[in-house]
């Protein structure tokens, strides 16, 4: 199965093939408060991924929410070595897009997340997401 989306990060970042395991949040994510930047673990008790890491995963979530500080939290995760390999959104917004760009995290939006589930392996190139 192959899904398509819109690449929002720099061409040289997004065009490098990436393979990884999907972790999918059922709800929106605020990087300020929902994810611990020192560990990459989801700390929002209401989130279905509570207690799980997004570090080195393909992190799928519908939309970002919350403070503009979230972009810098993503950058902090990147500098700490706890960022996801890639981000897939149904609809990305400016906070997540800026965070992905400054952190060199490939970001694809307009992805049909209903067709993905936690534990699947995917390969991402450009705006294409292939379920392996």
Distance CA 30, CA 132 (A): 29
Report which of 57, 55, 119 is spatially closest to residue 82, judged by C-alpha positions: 55
Q: Which residue's entry shows tokens 């960022």?
A: 83
Residue 71 is among the residues annotated as catalytic for this protein: no
- Catalytic residue from among 25, 30, 67, 71: 67
Would you please indicate which residues are annotated as catalytic (active-site) residues? 67
């Amino acid at each position: 199965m192959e899904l398509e989306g819109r690449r929002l990060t720099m061409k040289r970042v997004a065009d490098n093939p990436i393979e990884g395991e999907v972790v999918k949040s059922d709800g929106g994510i605020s990087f300020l408060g929902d994810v611990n930047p020192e560990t990459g673990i989801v700390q929002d008790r209401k989130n279905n991924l509570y207690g799980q890491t997004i570090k080195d995963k393909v992190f799928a979530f519908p939309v970002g929410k919350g403070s503009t500080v979230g972009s810098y939290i993503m950058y902090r995760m990147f500098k700490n070595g706890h960022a996801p390999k890639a981000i897939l959104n149904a609809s990305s917004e400016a906070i997540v897009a800026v965070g992905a760009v400054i952190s060199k995290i490939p970001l694809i939006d307009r992805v049909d997340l209903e067709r993905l589930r936690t534990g699947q392996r995917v390969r991402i190139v450009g705006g294409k997401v292939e379920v392996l």
